[in-house]
Amino acid sequence: MGHKVLFDGNGSGIIQVVGLGLFVPAEKHNEVMQKWEQAQAERDALAKEVDAANDRNAELIEERDALAAQVEALRSAYQNLCGAIDDMDNCEEGTAEMETAIGEMFHAMRNGYNKVHATPLQCLRDVIAAAIMRFAAQNFIDYKIASEYADKMWQGGE
């Protein structure tokens, strides 16, 4: 409280609180001081609880952000998948042309096709060829089987 308390020294129950100019009963003063100390202890306990709650809140925020990132990644993957399915649906009428292009690409690769692209279609064929070859390599598809398929495609067969 910041005030000096003076006892009269003769055993009476009255004390003087310097700075306030008051004389109060010692019991009342001691009771107020105990309440003050109890309030400080409660304040300290509540401060610890608030700190613990803030720490837990920070953990929950991190967990929420991680889950939000996962949801966003799944949403993006789902949208990409839906877009790919839509692209496949839109390309059904162009499938025969694509198969022919793939066959031509394999034939050109087997026959020493140079990498100078005369047309955008040739560039597209090279890109598709590279993708198919990577897929074949990753999935251990026999190059001979892929070449036979390419020959069929090159000839316009099924």
pLDDT digits (tens, 9 = 90+) for 38-69: 999 999 999 999 999 999 999 999 988 888 88
Span 137-156, mean pLDDT?
59
Burial of 98 (0-12, 13-18, 19+ CB in 10 A): middle
Span 104-124, mean pLDDT?
55
For the chain, percent helix, then strand, then coil, each to nearest 5? Answer: 75, 10, 20
> Where are the domains positioned within the chain?
4-87, 93-155
